[in-house]
Copies of this chain bind each other. A is one copy, B any other.
């Protein structure tokens, strides 16, 4: 079966779509600024479950996933639109008011203005389309497609926490659990923080050659970046920043590492650039995890001196 990624690539080539395939589309706005645009569809029981979250957290996450795409371009979020469809039963509750409260809490934090959207009825499930727009200095948006052999590979933050939070939710744990560390994992899943400030820092000094946000998981997203750039990569297992709270989960160490490698929705940034230049920026929490190579499409994973080929096992819808 074709994957969603193949489908989009085919569409791109069939209809000559120049702006499709990055975290955001980049369009000229004025002489000094480019406009970035993104849309993220969230569907009940596919992307979220109502009994695992609250309306406020869902509102937060709906906006956060789009802001994370804006962050991956190194852009500044400016406005958003929100299309939401709910059942008549949900409409009669306070769900939608609480959803917007959570949405606006995050919007306020980043100065994002709601400018439009749509409200619709659905027969069954809740659907949300989160649309984000932002600005970046003309020509300075960080694309997925400019990584070069010899660049180093970096990630922000710690990885696997959101996937660990998902496992806890699946096992019956809930947000506001009394265990602080477990709750931090669940918060990573339900209340991700878009890395806007780091994205802007990376674009404004022009030192990142390519970037993507970690939504599907490190293995998948690194493949996306390498495919777009026509390069390969080598990653050093020992340098992957595994979320320390994952020690709360009773599992073998390797399973924890797998969560960091393949677990989605951390919404951290994965980016490439010259190691010396990036290190000089001294951004807290940025880890150097590997190098870009000329082995087109091949991602290698080095662990205790042994190198294996690393397959994308992250999230995909199809």
Contact = CB atoms under 8 A, between A and B. Distances in A.
Interface of A: 1, 4, 7-8, 11, 15, 17-20, 24-25, 27, 29-31, 35, 37-47, 79, 81-85, 88, 91-92, 96, 100, 104, 113-125, 127, 129, 131, 133, 317-318
A116 B20 contact: yes
A30 B28 CA distance: 10
Contacts of A115: 17, 19-20, 25, 27, 37
Contact of A45 (B19, B30, B91, B123): B123
B118 A41 contact: yes
A85 B88 CA distance: 20
B127 A15 contact: no
B125 A92 contact: no
A199 to B, nearest CB: 18
B8 A129 contact: no
A41 B127 contact: yes
Given A85-B41, A116-B20, A318-B88, A123 B121 contact: no
Contacts of A129: 39, 41, 83, 118, 129, 131
B83 A39 contact: yes
Contacts of A118: 39-41, 129
A112 to B, nearest CB: 11
A4 B27 CA distance: 33
Contact of A131 (B8, B24, B81, B127): B81
Given A41-B118, A44-B123, 15 more contacts: A11-B100, A17-B114, A20-B117, A29-B35, A30-B30, A39-B83, A39-B116, A39-B117, A41-B119, A41-B129, A88-B318, A91-B318, A122-B125, A123-B124, A123-B125
B27 A30 contact: no
A7 B94 CA distance: 12
Contacts of A35: 29, 35
A84 to B, nearest CB: 8
Contact of A114 (B20, B46, B83): B20
Contacts of A100: 11, 15
Nearest to A121: B317
Contacts of A39: 81-83, 116-118, 129, 131
Contacts of A7: 96, 119
14 contacts: A1-B92, A8-B119, A19-B114, A20-B115, A20-B117, A39-B83, A39-B116, A41-B83, A41-B85, A41-B118, A41-B129, A42-B120, A46-B122, A131-B131
Q: Which of A17, A45, A84, A85 gathers the greatest number of chain B CB atoms within 10 Å?
A: A85
Contacts of A38: 116
A52 B37 CA distance: 33
Given A15-B114, A41-B129, A79 B27 contact: yes
